[in-house]
């Protein structure tokens, strides 16, 4: 029976899309297929932006949204994307509460209390100190689910402290960048010296996920001890020791 479940799960995960990934992950969980669940998680991480905009994302339970938002490996350009996804889910959760019968004694107060706790737990999964200061001040601190919640405001204030030159300030734990913040897990080796100690024009890329090396287009000029700059999704190469240290070259990812 276990073999049948595994085969079914292997087939199901070939149908993964941003719209159904969360539903398929839940099905694989119910089938207790850990390998398939891990594959779904990797898909969700790699396609987080599109998954977070799907209808199914807005309906997943709190424990699942907390698990996903806390993942180091989700592919995002900036932490602002994570905050916006969290608030979209929270906003939809608030809308669902509007259909709760209002005549239940104490229900209104209980819903308000639950909403406060949920907002705080969601916000704790967002790496607030990585947000740009204007966004933190203008969007986060003034959000309707945060502005009246003392615990949420404390989290925001702690993040603001990261921008202040305070002696002895201890950086918040779990505030390191997501592992895939800038590029999709790629390592680039550009130029350098050959075994004969001559500058070269090679551009090699290593993908840790597939453990494979590929060769990109060669640079127009040989370069060693070169300068690099990145403005996602472009890499700029300039200067260095070689045939033309004054030239500038650009690679688009």
CA-to-CA dists, residue 87 to 125, 144, 235, angstroms: 12, 10, 32
CATH number, residue 82: 1.25.40.420
pLDDT of 56: 95
Q: What percent of the chain has pLDDT over 90?
A: 37
Give the model confidence (pLDDT) of 195-230 as tens digits. 888 899 999 988 876 778 999 888 888 888 888 888
Q: What are phi and psi of 140, to 5 degrees?
A: -75, -55
Return the C-alpha torsion angle 161, 162, 164, 170, nearest 10: 80
Name the residue among 187, 178, 177, 123 with its Cα closest to residue 155. Answer: 123
Give the model confidence (pLDDT) of 26-50 as tens digits. 988 988 888 889 999 999 999 999 9
The alpha carbon of 248 is separated from its chain's Cα centroid by a whole number of angstroms, namely: 31
Give the domain range for residue 140. 1-163
Tell me, yes or no, whether 215 lies in a domain.
Answer: yes
Tell me, yes or no, whether 92 lies in a domain.
Answer: yes
Give the model confidence (pLDDT) of 83-96 as tens digits. 999 999 998 876 66
Residues 51 and 17 in one domain: yes
pTM of the model: 0.67
Tell me, yes or no, whether 175 lies in a domain.
Answer: no
What letter does residue 177 receive in the DSSP assignment?
Answer: P
Does residue 190 surpass a pLDDT of 60? yes
pLDDT of 203: 92
Tell me, yes or no, whether 74 lies in a domain.
Answer: yes
Cross-strand pairs, 215:
204
Residues 91 and 143 in one domain: yes
Give the model confidence (pLDDT) of 100-157 as tens digits. 444 444 444 444 445 557 889 999 999 998 999 999 999 999 998 898 888 999 999 9
Tell me, yes or no, whether 69 lies in a domain.
Answer: yes
H/E element, 227? strand 227-231
Helix (H, G, I), strand (E, B) or coil at 213: strand
């Amino acid at each position: 029976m276990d073999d049948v479940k595994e085969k079914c799960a292997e087939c199901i995960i070939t149908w993964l899309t941003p719209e159904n990934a969360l539903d398929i992950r839940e099905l694989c969980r119910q089938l207790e297929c850990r390998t398939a669940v891990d594959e779904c998680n990797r898909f969700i991480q790699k396609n987080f932006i599109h998954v977070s905009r799907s209808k199914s994302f807005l309906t997943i339970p709190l424990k699942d949204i907390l698990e996903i938002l806390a993942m180091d490996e989700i592919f995002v350009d900036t932490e602002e994307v994570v905050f916006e996804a969290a608030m979209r889910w929270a906003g939809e959760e608030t809308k669902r509460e509007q259909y709760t019968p209002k005549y239940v004694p104490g229900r209104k107060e209980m819903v308000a209390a639950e909403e406060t706790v949920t907002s705080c737990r969601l916000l704790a999964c967002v790496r607030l100190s990585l947000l740009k200061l204007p966004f933190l001040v203008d969007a986060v601190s003034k959000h309707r689910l945060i502005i009246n919640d003392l615990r949420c405001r404390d989290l925001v204030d702690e993040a603001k402290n990261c921008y202040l030159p305070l002696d002895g300030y201890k950086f918040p734990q779990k505030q390191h960048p997501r592992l895939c913040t800038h590029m999709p897990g790629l390592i680039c080796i550009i130029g350098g010296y050959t075994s004969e100690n001559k500058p070269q024009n090679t551009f090699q890329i290593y993908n840790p996920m597939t453990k494979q090396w590929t060769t990109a287009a060669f640079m127009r000029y040989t370069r060693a001890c070169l300068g690099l700059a990145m403005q996602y999704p472009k890499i700029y190469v300039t200067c260095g020791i070689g045939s033309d240290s004054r030239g500038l070259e650009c690679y688009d990812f």
